[in-house]
Structure 1
Amino acid sequence: MTKTADDKELRRSTRLLGSVLARVLKAQAAPKIAATVEQLQRGFTGLHRDGGAARRQSLLNIIEPLEAEVASDVVRAFSLYFSLLHIAEESTNLLKRRRQTERGGHYWPGSFHDTLLLLKQSGVTAEQLPALFEQLLYLPVMTAHPTEAKRRTVRNQLRNIFLTNERLDDPQVRGYYRQVALEKLHRQIQALWKTDEVRSRSMGVLDEIESGLFYFPLSLFQATTRLYRNFERALADVYGEAAARDIRIPSFLRYGSWIGGDRDGNPNVKPETTELALRMQTCTILQEYIRLLDELRGEITHSYGFCQPTEAFLASLAADREALGEAVTGLERHYLQEPYRHKLALMKYRMERTLAQAERRLAGQADARESHAYANAAVFMADLLLIRDSLYAHNDGEVAELGLRDLIRLAETFGFHLMQLDVRQESTRHSEAVAEILAALKFRADQADFCVDYRALDETQKLALLSQAIALPGGLDYDAAALSDTTRETLAVFRVMARMRREIGADCFSRYVISMTHAASHIMEVMLLAAQSGLAGRLGEGWYCHIGVSPLFETIDDLNHIESVLTTLLDLPVYRALLDASSERQEVMLGYSDSCKDGGILASTWGLYQAQRQVIAIAEARGIPCRLFHGRGGTVGRGGGPTHEAILAQPPDTVRGQIKFTEQGEVLFYRYNNMETAVYELTMGVTGLLKASISLVQPVRQDRTEDLAVMAELARIGEHSYRELTERTDGFLDYFYEATPVGEIGQLNIGSRPSHRKKKDRSKQSVRAIAWVFSWAQSRQTFPAWYGIGSALASWCAGKPERLQRLRAMYREWPFFRNLLSNAQMALSKSDMEIAREYAGLCPEPSTGKRIHDLIAAEYQRCEDWVLDVAEADGLLAENPELAASLKRRNAYLGPLNYLQATLLRRVRAGGDEAPAESPWMQPLLRSINAIAAGMRNTG
């Protein structure tokens, strides 16, 4: 049965924001703009209702006469509406959660209170909780993939509008104060209307680094401390105050980044870029520490005579004064009677010196050491703990639990590095580097055995040679002048890693990710290159290792070979010795994007599910702790979807307290542009992790063998169907490049990374998964997220009604299968085959456009029919009325934009290949890409 959504408050908020936008357009835009927007809406509504040729022509009659400048402003009006609608939805959802929290009980579903109550009801005792909590690690990793269509300036403006709208939701804001807030809202929306949302220049890596750092002072510092406080409060509420006192929730939240470290396919990321990223991260967190130390000075104001600090604290204060000498004479004179303010003043001074040192290094000054700077984050943490312990010692623990506790949490979470940077490079770069190094060896008796043609060796021979070379003390001696520029740059990356570990701390890097890992030798090649910079090797009789490697398995073929690669790797004595020496978990990264582009959603999803089971089983059989790293995108076609449900859909007993996953582009904006939303999103991820990790403390139900067999068969059929379309259908790739805006998306300037691995290569393998999904979504044929599901379900059930009952039981009882079909429903809801037909008309060969479109449309209908039949639902997203209503609200504005975009594409392309950027229609076209991305809340 279809659920209904109560959206009275949302409608009120939407009407308010819409009315302000209408007034802004009336005052600031040409009169034709608002009228055209209204005409397009009415025209599309009529077309959507009966779909006749006359209705379509009537809509086109509104679009065709539009001049480029008018079309541009019409698109901007639609885009601004989507942004305001998102603000209304976000504010309403926050309001609902606040009210649920005020009422108590379970709070909102997925909250800490709700989750701990469910754990308690399932039999998890307070005594078992430490075993669960101590294993936790939640690690979202920000990436710089080009999927965020909003400029940072626009994001700032939207943040301001959100805050003003929040104030208007406050019932205490009435009369004069409400009028003031309304006037402010009007001015803010007016300012946004006058702000260009399209970038005028290409994004560089520096822009991407700044964009990732943007969210920390905006929301994530505060959201991080709020998350822990909510967790602790819920623990006391559910398990009691005594349990909460006895059980410390460790600092399990970490943040990662690929920005400045991901060089796979991005020639703009150099070794110095990695240094730049880490130093900018350091400056960001040090600035926050300085701000918070200043706040603490106003909070911990105890005076001598009213408290007795511990001897350890007083000794530390005396040591600081002696070490800092005259530098702090002026600083401390106001605080000589207040021991904690005195200490905090000196700590702030030292942190300022630490920041000054970091800023000079950032500016390229080699000799940038500061004698009064903190040596590392551990020394800073020791000072904070001294203050905490001293406060507790004289019965002022409650004061320690204020801002000091939050600062300790931040120091534990961020250190001096802020985010743990992953470095990523493609495997062939390492193979070529190793081959060149071995060919350039100088004659030396102890390395005579390595003078071979590395490329000519088989896998077994390579592994033997690499194992022997890694164990060679002091590394290989080679002629660096004989190496190519590419290999020298590859080696420079490892030198940077070694230097930055010494400068910032051992935690500044997470893993070295190897994309396109096809063999165990690909991992060992990286270990050999690392050994040349002192990051790994043998010293005397012992091994050392300061680098962790994460093989990335991306394609369907890679997933099928994951068992042989990992088994070979983990059984290598040298690699096992290095892994043991590092005291780190083995991390394995799984790529959702390329596997889905390669073999379709069913083969990808099932291959990833099986791979997780295999990885954990292989590691467990060898007694090796293992963590999975999920390379998810924003859309379902790239592994996206709600994080909470996605974690719960992992195979039983594979999460085990730890999860790491990529977050990118528009996902960062929607989750982290506002603090309370950031708290909610982080909470939903962590509570999903808690539920999925219950196997650490009690047995969990394993997957049914018969369900696994059914999924394997469905995946086989689905992959065949997908490959038939994308690889064996004549004209399909022509259709992709002609019936979507993939070529024009490159003009958007939304990332430093090329959309194709090889220029002018129009193969499916060359186009990046992000551009692949982004382009199909723009043209409202989001088939990468569902194509093949309908064919698989229909084929497997053909003539056998009992099989449909089997599928229905799987949907009810198996989280993985339910999540798969739920995500498919969301993607199907964002598709529109009638709108896609308009894009198909862009193909120069009409018969090709019609033929490919008909194939996609037929599978769309088949998929919708069968998914609804299995889910026993009477409409898409019937079980998620809020999402269904949100998509419906957007569609009234998306539809006209799609028809307008198709017209703009036709006009830009009519000019031929000569300087399309000079076309007067290019600017409104780029705006339409931004606007549709905002409306669908997905890009790549």
Structure 2
Amino acid sequence: MSPHLVFDVSAEGRAATEPLREDIRLLGGLLGDVIREQEGERVFGLVEEARRRAFAVRRQEVDREGFADLFRDLSTQDSLHVIRAFSLFALLANLAEDLHRERRRALHVRAGDPPPADSLAAGFAALAEAQLDPAEVADVLQDATVVPVITAHPTETRRRTVFEAQSRIADTMRIRERMTLSDAEEESALRTITIQVITLWQTALIRLQRVRIQDEIEVGLRFFEASLFEVMPQINARVRRELAELYPGTDLLPQPLLRAGSWIGGDRDGNPNVDADVVATASSRAAQTALTHYLDEVSTLETSLSLSVRLTAVSEDLLALAARSEDDARDDEPYRQALRWIHHRLVCTYDVFFDEWLGGGSIGEATAYDTPGELLAELDVIDASLRADGDDLIADDRLLRLREAVRTFGFHLYGLDLRQNSDVHEQTVAELFAWAGVHDAYAGLDEKERVDLLVEVLRSRRPLIGADAELSEQTTRELAITAAAARAIRTFGPEAVPNYVISMCTSVSDLLECAVLLKEAGLLDPVTGTSPVNIVPLFETIEDLQVSATTVRAALAVPAYRALVERKGSLQEVMLGYSDSNKDGGYLAANWALYRAELDLVEVAREHGLRLRLFHGRGGTVGRGGGPSYEAILAQPRGAVRGSLRLTEQGEIIAAKYAEPRLAVRNLEAIVSATLEASLLDTERLGDETGSAYAHLDELAALARESYADLVHRTPGFVEYFKTSTPVGEIGALNIGSRPASRKPTEQISDLRAIPWVMSWSLSRVMLPGWYGTGSALEQWVGGDEERLSTLRGYYERWPFFRTVMSNLAQVMAKSDLGIAERYSRLVQDEELRGRVFGKIVQEHERTVRMFGQVTGHEDVLWDNAALKRSVFNRFPYLEPLNHLQVELLHRYRAGDESEQVRRGILLTMNGLATALRNSG
């Protein structure tokens, strides 16, 4: 009951993947040796038996019923051993696959093959071929920015020990790959890997306590040290240099293109654990991380730049800077003196920010930097002096990386977004108005009355409340959070908290309520109409997406709001919600609603002469907007990018993309290259077919939504089936992540957060949010008409949007397994309900696979994705024991065995499956 896959069994195909299989065998064998040594032959034999039977299931030599019998009477302790074994194998298999991708890319480079389509080299080649007008390029890329925004995920709170052990294994594997080792060196390398595997086996993969937001903040910061400090500045420098060569004289991108963002610690929509202290922690830890990096880099430069004035010429500016250090012992080494001065100023800056000295004290007249620009100016003095004497190679090494890092990260490191639900804003403003005597029944006003009142309040600098105000806990909390954001901005700079996102934004008053809260915190000046914080509406449901342009247009008709936008450089950012729109209307309907909303918003921006920046709220899975970033960006409608793009990066996807520099280079290049191409080239490629194509997708989306609604919203007992056949209840009960599973304590699907919704279907291998309804829509629309089928085939060949929709659907279908899903369905005791709902799922799954084949001309759902096909072939049998053990432990837990071991076992299976699937929610 899995989709059709055709595996390459040719000699050439096996040769290409043999190094991957060798790595998997090596790492799996070492893990097996460790298990035998640590737990004994009995446990090792149990793990091996599970492994053999899992592969026998794939070869259809045994059925799943017999395989499940292996675990039915297994003790919980032994179950934990098996779960940990297969979870660690998944982790090691991920590592092997990443190394194999590196290997294949290196082979292509050495062979002189064209660069991959998603690389910067290919992107710049495409721009060069297009022979664009430099003036037009300069206009489109004015204030261009690309911001990956890291967010938390309940399964991605990987321990630092695990993170570091993976890195050591990967580094050692690379040494074995690239060097000819002696027998002794090979033995030493294997010993190093084995030590790390032992460490992994003896390290608890999950924490016993509920994950705190502080833990999630630290996990997010880890990726800066792992890769982003190195890679983001490197790419910024390269893009600026390449564009200058392509379009000389245009002075493109004076500011860094790539910047970092985060939601961790600022996103409080439905998360009561985010308070003012958390906002302060998130912003201050980010600044600490940035300054610590600069201090380390300056210290290293001070050691290495030992150039003597007796042997080289230096500039007068450098000598003046060096003289300020008052370090007479190094009079002939002015670069070291200058760097010592910069180091002490950074120490002073750290002290001002955090009130703690790093050691060394101040020297002479050293004072803190007021802005990152002051630090950069002094580093530029060193750079100019080196270049004036012909030392460009030295200047272009570590010093250039540091200068670009300061430009990219400033003192704030990343922009921390605030986010809250519009309902909370309404309640907060209503209470403020009542306390201040502005209006005692704001919530009862109609929309026009609300807007008029809000505009009146926004005209005055007078605060609504004083220090003696007696307010509810919620309102006090909300005001404290915006006050903490204001302190972060005053301390670390205006980019520390650049955006305030309004969830479930449906009206102009929702936007103006946020403005009132910013005014109350001192972050919005009503007289000048200025604020360092962008007000960003988030449109999430399909209905809200459909009227998003109307809402923005109405807001811009209000002079007070229009003035705010104009003071921000006529920039209006809008966030698009992939998760809730999918949960609301299904995969195809949500994707098309998003596309249509973008088209409408582009038109609003054109009408009002504004710059539109779209913020794509993509999760890791296809059901939450996931999929390859390069293809997703190119699939945007024309005019929707124009040099600016923000997108969320979440959970285990962050580790898969940014755990080390090689991964980060590949993924950030893909995002930047796609942004440049989508901004400057016609990537839609519909031509005269545009109108008819849009009309056809309108029809397909309506059919898909109807099919999805028939199951999710209209099938009696569906909610009970979902809650019983998946681990959604346990996700909320077992302390996974810092955020509650639901926004409200209700039984409504609409109130369930998108992560547990998608994650539950992923763990049970149904993957429903990534495909359901599409098969019915395609089948009904085609209706046996060959001409209509030919039309869809044309869209698949030419239109990036439609091709990406079908390709992402195929990836989900490849990871689904309704044979395993049937095991989960047995958790539903009502046989009639089970048969009715699961029967619909099976029928739609078969229909979707069949229609995919007809539309694309390929029965193999992964015909164009060799990497994922390799992963399915090599790794997915190892998911089988984790799924079966999860079902078994869920049976025990729901039957009343709520022991710590059972609870931990369920949590470990969730973690292991998330690791293996790499995008579970």
For residues 116-166 of structure 1, give each alpha carbon's deviation from its aligned partner in whole angstroms, at most 9, with x where no partner exists: 122222334778765565553110001124241633332222222222222
State the match for 2:338 in structure 1. 343
Shift of 1:376: 2.3
The aligned residue for residue 27 of structure 2 is 17
Which secondary structure state, in structure 2, belongs to the residue aligned with residue 150 of structure 1? coil
Secondary structure at the aligned position of 2:879 is classed as helix
**What's 1:436 paired with?**
431
Match of residue 840 from structure 1: 825
Please state how far the C-alpha of 1:557 moved relative to its aligned partner.
Answer: 1.6
Using the TM superposition, name which of 411-420 and 15-24 deviates more.
15-24
Q: CA RMSD in A?
A: 2.6
Counterpart in 2 of 1:161?
A: 169
Q: What amino acid sits opposite 2:273 in the alignment?
A: N
CA distance in 1, matches of 2:380, 2:689: 46
SS at match of 2:766: coil
Structure 2 residue 201 is the aligned partner of structure 1 residue 193: yes
2:344 maps to amino acid: Y
User: Which residue identity lines up with residue 261 of structure 1 in the other structure?
Assistant: G
Distance 2:221 2:467 in 1: 40
Structure 2: which amino acid aligns with 1:936? L
2:675 is matched with: 689
Question: How far apart are 1:747 and its partner, in Å?
Answer: 4.8
- Select between 880-889 and 652-661 the one with higher mean Cα deviation: 880-889
CA contact (8 A) 1:437 1:478 kept: no
Distance change in 2, residues 1:781/1:742 (3 Å): same
Give 1:276 deviation, angstroms: 1.4
Shift of 1:590: 0.6
In the other structure, the counterpart of 1:81 is 89
- In structure 1, distance between residues paired with 2:683 and 2:748: 49
2-structure distance, mates of 1:703, 1:384: 54
* CA distance in 2: counterparts of 1:526 and 1:731, whole angstroms: 39
**Are 2:43 and 1:33 equivalent residues in the alignment?**
yes
Distance verdict in 2 for CA 1:362–1:174, change over 3 Å: same
Cα 1:353–1:243 change in 2 (3 A) is same
Specify which of 876, 889, 892 is matched with residue 904 of structure 1.
889
Residue 369 of structure 2 aligns with an amino acid whose one-letter code is Y
Quote how far apart the aligned CAs of 1:230 are.
5.5
- Cα distance in structure 1, aligned partners of 2:568 and 2:236: 29
Partner of 2:256: 251
User: Does the alignment pair 1:785 with 2:770?
Assistant: yes
Amino acid at match of 1:402: D
Give how far 1:678 is off. 1.2
Aligned-partner Cα distance in 2 for 1:477–1:896: 59
**Partner of residue 923 from structure 1, selected from 884, 890, 904:** 904
**Cα separation, 1, equivalents of 2:686 and 2:382:** 43
Q: Contact 1:656–1:695 at 8 Å: present in 2 too? A: no
Name which of 815, 818, 834 aligns with 1:830: 815
Corresponding residue of 1:733 = 719
Distance 1:919 1:851 in 2: 35
Tell whether the 8 Å contact from 1:43 to 1:58 is kept in structure 2 after alignment.
Answer: no
Matched with 1:445 is none
Partners of 1:351 and 1:569 lie apart in 2 by: 43
2: CA distance between counterparts of 1:479 and 1:258? Answer: 29
Correspondence 1:418 to 2:404: no
Which of 220, 224, 227 is matched with 2:232 structurally?
224
SS of alignment partner, residue 175 of structure 2: helix
Corresponding residue number in structure 1 for 2:614: 628
User: What is the aligned partner in structure 1 of residue 362 from structure 2?
Assistant: none
Using the TM superposition, give the Cα deviation of residue 13 of structure 1 relative to its aligned residue in structure 2, in angstroms: 1.5
- Helix, strand or coil for the counterpart of 1:718? helix
Residue matched to 1:455:
443
Q: Partner residue of 2:72?
A: 64
Question: SS of 2:417's equivalent?
Answer: strand
Aligned letter for 1:139?
Answer: V
Change (3 A) 1:129 1:396: farther
Percent identity between the two aligned chains: 36
Change (3 A) 1:361 1:667: farther
Report the TM-score, using the length of structure 1 for normalisation: 0.92
Using the alignment, how far apart are the partners of 2:138 and 2:432 within structure 1? 49
1:890 and 2:890 matched: no
Distance 1:110 1:674 in 2: 19
Counterpart-to-counterpart distance in 1, 2:298 and 2:53:
59
Does the 8 Å CA contact 1:592/1:630 hold for their aligned counterparts? yes
Residues 1:78 and 1:924: Cα distance change in structure 2 (over 3 Å): same
Equivalent position of 2:269 in the other structure: 264
**Conservation of the 8 A alpha-carbon contact between 1:278 and 1:417:** yes
* Equivalence for 1:514: 502
Partner Cα distance (1:199, 1:477) in 2: 43
Q: State the 1:258 CA deviation.
A: 0.8
2:105 paired with 1:97? yes
CA distance in 1, matches of 2:685, 2:872: 40
The corresponding residue for 1:587 is 573
TM-score, normalised on structure 2? 0.94
Taking the aligned partners of 1:132 and 1:557, their CA distance within structure 2 comes to 31
Cα deviation, 1:163-208, whole Å, max 9, x if unaligned, reads: 2222221233343212210111111111111111122111111111
Native 8 Å contact 2:620 2:649 kept in 1: yes
Q: Residue 367 of structure 1 corresponds to which residue in structure 2?
A: none
Aligned mates of 2:7, 2:147 — CA distance in 1: 34
Deviation at 1:274, TM superposition (A): 0.8
- Structure 2 unpaired stretches of 5+: 359-364
Partner of 2:484: 496
Structure 1 residue 243, shift from structure 2 partner: 6.1
Q: Residues 488-536 of structure 1: CA distance to partner in whole angstroms, max 9, x if unpaired?
A: 2212222222222111111111200000101011010111121122222
CA contact (8 A) 2:309 2:332 kept: yes
C-alpha distance in structure 2 between counterparts of 1:457 and 1:614, whole Å: 29
Q: Structure 2 CA distance, aligned partners of 1:625 and 1:682?
A: 23
State the Cα deviation string for residues 607-632 of structure 1 (Å, max 9, x = none).
11111111121012101111000001
Question: In structure 1, which of residues 631, 643, 648 is the aligned counterpart of residue 629 of structure 2?
Answer: 643
Measure, in 2, the Cα distance between the counterparts of 1:702 and 1:675.
43
Of residues 846, 850, 853, the one that matches 1:865 is: 850
> Does 1:745 find its partner at 2:719?
no
What is residue 762 of structure 1 aligned with on the other side?
747
Distance 2:403 2:766 in 1: 49
Q: Is residue 704–residue 773 contact of structure 2 (8 Å, CA) maintained in 1?
A: yes
Q: Sort the Cα spacing of 1:479 and 1:572 in 2 relative to 1 into closer, same or farther, 3 A.
A: same
Q: Distance in 2 between matches of 1:745 and 1:733?
A: 16
Structure 1 position 308, deviation (Å): 4.4
Shift of 1:769: 0.5
Equivalent AA in structure 1 for residue 577 of structure 2 = G
Q: Name the amino acid aligned to 2:491.
A: E
* Match for residue 935 of structure 1 among 904, 909, 916: 916
Q: 1:347 to 1:166 in 2, by over 3 A?
A: same
Are the counterparts in 2 of residues 262 and 425 from structure 1 also a CA contact under 8 Å? yes
Shift of 1:486: 1.4
- The answer to whether residue 127 in structure 2 is matched with residue 119 in structure 1 is yes
Gaps of 5+ in 1: 322-328, 364-369, 443-449
Q: Does 1:389 align with 2:384?
A: yes
SS at match of 2:576: strand
Change in 2 beyond 3 A, CA 1:228/1:567: closer
| Offset of residue 233 of structure 1 | 8.0
Question: By how many angstroms is 1:109 displaced?
Answer: 3.3
CA contact (8 A) 1:141 1:255 kept: yes
Is the alpha carbon distance of 1:131 and 1:311 closer, same or farther for their aligned partners in structure 2, counting shifts above 3 Å? farther
Structure 1 counterpart of 2:162, which letter?
V
Give the counterpart letter for 1:706 in structure 2. S
Could you tell me how far apart the structure 2 residues matched to 1:538 and 1:757 are? 33
Q: CA deviation at 1:232?
A: 7.0
Distance across 1 between alignment mates of 2:113 and 2:80: 50
Shift of 1:838: 0.8
Counting only pairs closer than 5 Å after superposition, residues 545-584 of structure 1 correspond to structure 2 as: 545-583=531-569
1:228, distance to aligned residue in structure 2 (A)? 4.2
Mean alpha-carbon deviation: is it higher for 787-796 or for 140-149?
140-149
CA contact (8 A) 1:3 1:878 kept: no
Distance 1:854 1:334, change over 3 A: farther
Distance in 2, Cα, partners of 1:764 & 1:36: 40
Secondary structure of the corresponding residue to residue 545 of structure 1: coil
Q: Is the 8 A contact 1:112 1:230 kept in 2?
A: no
